[in-house]
Structure 1
């Protein structure tokens, strides 16, 4: 075997796919820790190499891939608009660099989505998050109890003995809370599919729940409530006879719309109950300032920048106006609206919305509970995006692209075209 064929064989092997998936997930979820321990160029280099290797894996497996189902159209449109925005960006080099970061993580997610199935993906994320959450707890115990000193290098304040809030290796309490909710969904799916033993399942859920509680993040309560309601609704649909399933879906949709309207009407009381008044007040002031700036460029926005760390226009002026130093809009929807305008927000909503509907329909008819992972993750991302911009970078962006790809692979107009070309007959109901 020639060296070239040996490399191609290695890249296309199942063993390499598993190793790549675990390595990529660990690097993305632990990006804050990697950056703190090394440097930003080191982190960028690691993620860049993972994207290049991912592209090589896709090339090695190109005969297994279908061009029609390679990536969601809305994702391609969003990425295209983000790079086109360089034409009206105030700092074109930063736009290009942040777009490359967005593209790199998307390539990693697309690679994982094509080389691993849903259960394998759940197992990989579960394994990675068990280690990272365990490391977070160990460092918090060492910092907050055994040594009683903060670990500035890790971004840990050492508040464990005080009952929190803690950050773990994820930088902020809200990011830790978000990761814990993702972990809890993944751990429960692992447990239900018997992918892990009962002992591992119980300890994993206990670890995720304990760290979520100690994070003292007000968004965790909202995320937990949203995931809980979604789980109950999906369970009802899955156990409804097929003849009445459509009616139940519409009824649940109406109840969700009514609940959202009630929550908006009672938002001030809910905020007081969550003890998140000061946090929300800060966000409300920021969002009002953003809307004022959006009025200047409502269609195209000010160009893609991702995070606000570079201090470009108009972010520096917004922070100056508020006498603050925000690094994002604290809301993914407002961030997209500010940077890519109404066009970008529409593509972003289509990317997440269509994926949610597709994954929900698949999960409602297939017997295996593993299909519930995708819609539950998408609901988590949608709700979290109302309070943070995690979905536009790093682990949040990877999960969004991965879930959108997974949903498109199982229920898509492109699948029907592909099946027609290959002579296959789509039988969703039979693939349970």
Structure 2
């Protein structure tokens, strides 16, 4: 098998597993999933060695954040599991380096078709549970009683009853985020003239999934992405003073909207079908802050996504008998685990990612701006998601962030990687 084909297949598996890791865990359980991830990391290591990757060329904020997470095992609440979490983080970063070594168009193709495939699989999965099983479906490795909380269902089978769907991910918010990523990529591909006959289907499918998941987090992220799309179009068409006037008006309108939302919070959350305390997030945030303040400078030790068998994380997110395994805010999660130092490093990583994304759009020739806007749009989506979810620093979120942070350093890090060909403005149908 040619090396490029082999690496493309590996990158596709990395993206798919990172985007729907919960589905894999629901089928084979955590131990088998851990073995599978370990084997994936080994394969990634071999491919990076064959590419003669220069890891010392990685962005400083990325290396510093990973190093901070690793050394935090020395003072962590659970040193052993903190080291495991750090190994997973490093493996995820290295996997992202492997993906970033591919040509840009190849990366876009992988993300586009993988996200669309997951959306199609989710619709078929929910239809199967609703029409064939006609009962809630639990993770296959678990043995839950039938009367447990619906939060533990892999699928509740309510797609045709007006209920929210969770798809193969088993989580409506994660499925909604996959739909938003798919919508951004499909929309930009359509604007660039790709998928000339089929693009309406690839745009309509994420919108349908978005409506079926009804995720408030993803709804806000979509609104922010839409505002950014408007500003990008305005920047392309009207440079100079005209654009700055449009930008100023947009910022003013945005501030007014934020003020109205905050001032009428109860009405807004009631309209979205959510509690005023954001489904218990305020309680979780309070506990996370309290734990973080026990070691505010360097945190209580990196863990990443909370492991349900590691105290105090096994009870930290408990609400109404259900245990949530994240802080529901990536910045608070970073503060609790790595302290103020970790927050500064995380902020530096975010700055590097958005600076590269802005640079890619600014330097792009006119015919390539639609596709080169994708990193910036996805970064905004991840940033907004991180205000209510901790996912942007694990699995697929961390992979995308790493790719954005690497940006123009791609050739310096992987000199043997194939050169990125010019992005065409049209494609065969």
TM interval, short-chain normalised: 0.7 to 0.9
State the partner residue of 2:339: 341
Aligned pairs for 1:49-88 within 5 A: 49-62=39-52, 70-88=57-75
Map 1:158-237; keep pairs closer than 5 Å: 158-199=157-198, 201-237=199-235
Using the size of structure 1 for normalisation, the TM-score is 0.83
For 2:122, the equivalent position in structure 1 comes to 136
**Structure 1 residue 121 corresponds to structure 2 residue 107:** yes
Distance 2:342 2:256 in 1: 25
Q: Which segment drifts farther, 255-264 or 140-149?
A: 255-264
The secondary structure found in structure 2 opposite 1:303 is coil
* Secondary structure of residue in 2 paired with 1:304: coil
Tell me the equivalent position of 2:295: 297
Give ranges in structure 2 of 5+ residues lacking alignment: 141-153, 415-429
C-alpha distance in 2, partners of 1:50/1:99?
A: 16
* Partner residue, 2:9: 19
Aligned residues of 1:126 and 1:190 also touching (Cα < 8 A): no
Residue 360 of structure 1: how far off its partner (Å): 1.5
Q: CA RMSD in A?
A: 2.9
Paired residues of 1:57 and 1:111 also in contact (CA < 8 A):
yes
**C-alpha separation in 1, matches of 2:317 and 2:214:** 26
Aligned to 1:371: 372
Inter-partner Cα distance in structure 2 for 1:103 and 1:123: 25
Quote the offset at 1:34 in angstroms.
1.4
Residue 136 of structure 1, CA deviation:
0.7
The answer for the alignment partner of 1:47 in structure 2 is: 37
Q: 1:267 aligns with which of 262, 266, 288?
A: 262
Q: Where does residue 428 of structure 1 map in the other structure?
A: none
User: Which region of structure 1 is more displaced relative to structure 2, 258-267 or 184-193?
Assistant: 258-267
Residues of 2 paired with 1:117 and 1:358: CA distance? 16
Q: Which has the higher contact order (CA 8 A, sep 6+)?
A: 2
Indicate if the aligned counterparts of 2:234 and 2:246 stay in contact, CA closer than 8 A. Answer: no
Structure 2: distance between partners of 1:46 and 1:251: 50
d(CA) in 2 for partners of 1:98, 1:303: 10
Which one of the candidate residues 21, 28, 34 is aligned to 2:24? Answer: 34
Q: C-alpha separation between the residues in 2 aligned to 1:327 and 1:268?
A: 30
Residue in structure 2 matching 1:89, options 71, 76, 79: 76
Cα deviation, residue 169, structure 1: 0.6
Q: Which has the higher helix share?
A: 1
Change (3 A) 1:264 1:288: farther
Of residues 321, 332, 336 in structure 1, which corresponds to 2:330?
332
Residues 48 and 373 of structure 1: CA distance in aligned 2, closer, same or farther (over 3 Å): same
Contact 1:286-1:322 within 8 A present in 2 as well: no
Comparing 190-199 with 331-340, greater Cα deviation is found at 190-199
Residue 230 (structure 1) shift:
0.9
- Partner of 1:300: helix, strand, or coil? coil
**Deviation digits for residues 39-73 of structure 1, max 9, x if unmatched?**
212222222222222222222122xx5667x4221
**Partner of residue 103 from structure 1, selected from 90, 98, 102:** 90
Q: Judging changes above 3 Å, is the alpha-carbon distance between structure 1 residues 323 and 293 closer, same or farther for their aligned structure 2 residues?
A: farther
Compute the displacement of 1:332 (Å): 0.8
CA distance 1:256–1:57, change in 2 (3 Å): farther
Q: CA deviation at 1:174?
A: 0.7
C-alpha displacement of 1:376: 0.5
Task: Indicate the larger mover: 357-366 or 299-308.
Answer: 357-366
- Offset at residue 98 of structure 1 (A): 1.0
> Who is 1:4 aligned against?
none
Could you tell me how far 1:262 is from its partner in structure 2?
5.7
- Could you tell me whether the CA contact under 8 Å between 1:238 and 1:364 is conserved in 2? no
